[in-house]
Each structure stands twice: as C-alpha cells, then as structure tokens.
Amino acid sequence: MKKIVVAVTGASGSIYARRLFTHLQRLEDIEVGVVLSRNAADVWRHELGSEPHIPFPTYDRRDYNAPFASGSARYGHMLIMPCSMGTLGRIANGISDDLITRAADVMLKERRQLICCIRDTPLNLIHLDNMRTLSRAGAIMLPAIPSFYSRPATIEEVVDTVVLRALDLMGLDAGGYRWGSGG
C-alpha cells in the first residue's frame, strides 16, 4: 500500500487539487492524508465556486500529531498541488512552521518523494533559487504546465495532463494519454 500526503496551498489552481482527488478516489491500495494551507479553502471557493470536498482524512495545518508529521509513519510520497511560492520558499529554507512544511521536511530528511506542483508565473530569481535548492535536496519540481499532445478538449482534460503526470511520478497509473500510443 502506498501512503501519500497531499497538500493544497493557497496558490491559484484549486482545480488541480480537485481533479487529483477525483483520480485518487479511483485507485486501490493507497492511503491518503490531506492538509490545506491557511488560504487554500478561500482560493478553492473563489476559483471553483464551492466548498472544498476532500474525500480523504484531512488534518489541520497546525496538527503536528498527524501521522505524516513523522518519518516513522513511513509515508512514501508527498504532492503539494498547487504549491505556492511562499510554501516553496519556506520548505527550501528549512522553515517548518505548519504541517505542510513539516511534512515536506520529513520527506526530504527521509529521502522520500516530494513533488511540488508550482503554479506561479512569471518566476523571479528567488523562486528559481528555491526550486534549485529543493531539486538539489531531492524534490521534484512539477510546474502546472499542461501538455497538448493528447488534444484535450475540456478544461478538465487540460488539467489532467498535469495531474496524471504527478500520479505517474508516484508510480500510480490512473490512465490517460501515453506518448506513442496513437491517440
């Protein structure tokens, strides 16, 4: 069973998290724990016009008793989707001031998978330096930049080009377009 932490920050792109949860619900043999940043629910309501629906156990951002706040719980993957530059910067500089940054720190120190689905644009030198720092520490930077090989026809299909890539990186096959598969 794969144990996955999903963090949703206040960066624009709540639709990525919503689609991620839709795909994760269809998968078997996974355990998912979720944490939202202080602003994530507000951004979700603004962008999607609804309250966040999280179909997995959700932990308060101040709950350091959450299982994934410790390496001994053996969560193997953490995906921050979307990942704000503020969150990225705190992680890159070792500031564990909430459950998201603490869990990310655990992933890095335990040499487990941390994927940051960054959403901001344009990027300044501080953003790039923070991404470089985290990449050197073992994290994967997955910008929320969709691909168009599959000829997506809806916003959900565009979003899925990023979400399904994230799932692939964690070794989870949720289907979707494969290069060279014909169509």
pLDDT tens digits, 126-183 = 999 999 999 999 999 999 999 999 999 999 999 999 999 999 999 998 888 888 776 5
Cβ proximity of 108 and 133 under 8 Å: no
Q: Where are the alpha helices (DSSP H) in the chain?
A: 14-25, 40-48, 85-92, 99-109, 125-136, 155-169
**What are the tens digits of pLDDT across the range 28-61?**
999 999 999 999 999 999 999 999 999 999 999 9
Domains and CATH numbers, the chain: 2-169 (3.40.50.1950)
Q: Buried (b) or exposed (e) across 100-133, using 16+ Cβ within 10 A?
A: bbbbbbbbbebebbbbbbbbbeeeeeebeebbeb
User: pTM (2 decimals)?
Assistant: 0.96
